[in-house]
Structure 1
Amino acid sequence: MPLDYERERETFEWDIPADYNVPAVVEDHAESFGDRLAVRFRDDEGGEAERTYADLRDDQNRFAAALADLGVGEGDRVMHLFPRHPDAFAVQLGALARGALLVPCSAMLKPKDIAFRANDCEAETVVVHADLTEMVEPVLDETPLDTVVVLDADGDPERENWHAFADLLEGRPTDHDGPELSADDPMSINYTSGTTGQPKPVLHRHRWMRCFELVNGQYWWGVDRDTDFSDELLWATTGTGWAKWFWSPVGVGLTTGASQFIYDGDFDAGTFLDLMEEEGVTRLCAVPTQYRMFTQVDGLGEYDLALTEAVSAGEPLNREPIQEFEEAFGVTPRDGYGQTETVALVTNYPGIDVKPGSMGKPVPGIDVTLLDTQDEEEVDAGETGEIAVPVGSPAIFDGYYEKPDLDEQTFHGDYYRTGDLARKDEDGYFFFEGRADDIIISSGYRIGPFEVEDALVGHDAVAEAAAVASPHDERGNVVKAYVVLADGYESGEDLTDELQDYMKEETAPYKYPRRIEYVDELPTTSSGKIRRIELREQENEQFGE
Structure 2
Amino acid sequence: MSPGDAISFNLTDWFVDRHIREGHGQKVAIRCDESVYTYDVLAADVNRAGNGLLRLGLQDEQRVLLLLPDSPEFVIAYFGVIKIGAVAVPTGTAARTADYDYFLRESKARILIVHSTLFAEVAPILGSQHSLRHVIVVGERRPGCMHWNEWLAQNSPELDAATTSAEDVAFWLWTSGSTGLAKAAVHLHYDWVCCCRNYSVEVLGIGPDDTTFSSSKLFHAYGLGNGLMFPFYAGASTVLFSGKAQAKAVLGIAQTARPTLFFSVPTLYAQMLQEAERESYCLDSIRVAVSAAEPLPAEIFRRWQRKFGVEILDGIGSTEALHIYLSARPGDVKPGSTGKVVPGYKLRIVDSDSREVSPGTIGDLHVSGDSIAPYYWNRRQLTAERMLGHWFSTGDKYWMDEDGYYWYAGRSDDMFRVSGQWVSPFEVESALIEHECVLEAAVIAYRENTELYTPKAFVVVREGIAATPDLARELQEFVKHRITPYKYPRHIEFTDKLPKTAAGKLLRYKLRGLASGTFI
TM-score range, shorter chain: over 0.9
Paired with 1:266 and 1:190, the residues of 2 have a C-alpha distance of 20
User: What are the residue-to-residue correspondences of 1:404-415 with 2, within 5 Å?
Assistant: 404-412=380-388, 415=391
Paired with 2:378 and 2:446, the residues of 1 have a C-alpha distance of 38
1:350 is aligned to 2:350: no
1:149 corresponds, among 136, 146, 159, to 136
Could you tell me which residue of structure 1 aligns to residue 196 of structure 2? 213
- Give the deviation of 1:146 after TM superposition: 2.8
CA distance change for structure 1 residues 302 and 148 in 2, over 3 Å: closer, same or farther?
Answer: closer
Paired with 1:414 and 1:127, the residues of 2 have a C-alpha distance of 35
Q: Could you tell me whether the CA contact under 8 Å between 1:220 and 1:349 is conserved in 2?
A: yes
User: What are the residue-to-residue correspondences of 1:19-418 with 2, within 5 Å?
Assistant: 19-25=8-14, 26-32=16-22, 33-42=24-33, 48-143=34-129, 144-154=131-141, 157-159=142-144, 162-223=145-206, 227-229=207-209, 232-296=210-274, 297-298=276-277, 303=282, 305-342=284-321, 343-351=323-331, 353-372=332-351, 374-390=352-368, 393-412=369-388, 415-418=391-394
Q: Given residue 98 of structure 2, which amino acid in structure 1 is its aligned partner?
A: K
CA deviations 1:288-315 (Å, max 9, x no partner) are 1121122111277762521111111111
- Give the deviation of 1:80 after TM superposition: 0.6
Matched residue SS, 2:224: helix
CA distance change for structure 1 residues 303 and 24 in 2, over 3 Å: closer, same or farther?
Answer: same
Paired with 1:258 and 1:359, the residues of 2 have a C-alpha distance of 27
Runs of 4+ in 1 over 6 A off after TM superposition: 12-16
Q: Could you tell me whether the CA contact under 8 Å between 2:386 and 2:392 is conserved in 1?
A: yes
1:493 is aligned to 2:469: yes
* Count of residues in Structure 1 that have an aligned counterpart in Structure 2: 513
Q: Could you tell me whether the CA contact under 8 Å between 1:234 and 1:281 is conserved in 2?
A: yes
Question: Which deviates more from structure 2 when the two are superposed, residues 523-532 or residues 441-450?
Answer: 523-532
Segments of 5+ residues of structure 2 without an aligned counterpart are none
Could you tell me which residue of structure 2 aligns to residue 3 of structure 1? none
Paired with 2:229 and 2:363, the residues of 1 have a C-alpha distance of 29
Could you tell me which residue of structure 2 aligns to residue 527 of structure 1? 503
Segments of 5+ residues of structure 1 without an aligned counterpart are 1-11, 43-47
Q: Could you tell me whether the CA contact under 8 Å between 2:286 and 2:310 is conserved in 1?
A: yes
CA distance change for structure 1 residues 366 and 325 in 2, over 3 Å: closer, same or farther?
Answer: same
Matched residue SS, 2:442: strand
Matched residue SS, 2:186: strand
- Give the deviation of 1:133 after TM superposition: 0.6
What is the root-mean-square deviation of aligned Cα atoms in Å? 2.1
CA deviations 1:162-197 (Å, max 9, x no partner) are 211111121422111452112111011111035221
Question: Which deviates more from structure 2 when the two are superposed, residues 486-495 or residues 500-509?
Answer: 486-495
Paired with 1:37 and 1:135, the residues of 2 have a C-alpha distance of 34
- Give the deviation of 1:106 after TM superposition: 1.0
TM-score normalised by the chain length of structure 2: 0.94
Q: Could you tell me whether the CA contact under 8 Å between 1:347 and 1:362 is conserved in 2?
A: yes
Paired with 1:13 and 1:361, the residues of 2 have a C-alpha distance of 23
Q: Could you tell me whether the CA contact under 8 Å between 2:399 and 2:409 is conserved in 1?
A: yes
Q: Could you tell me whether the CA contact under 8 Å between 1:443 and 1:475 is conserved in 2?
A: no
Paired with 1:505 and 1:325, the residues of 2 have a C-alpha distance of 24
Paired with 2:199 and 2:100, the residues of 1 have a C-alpha distance of 29
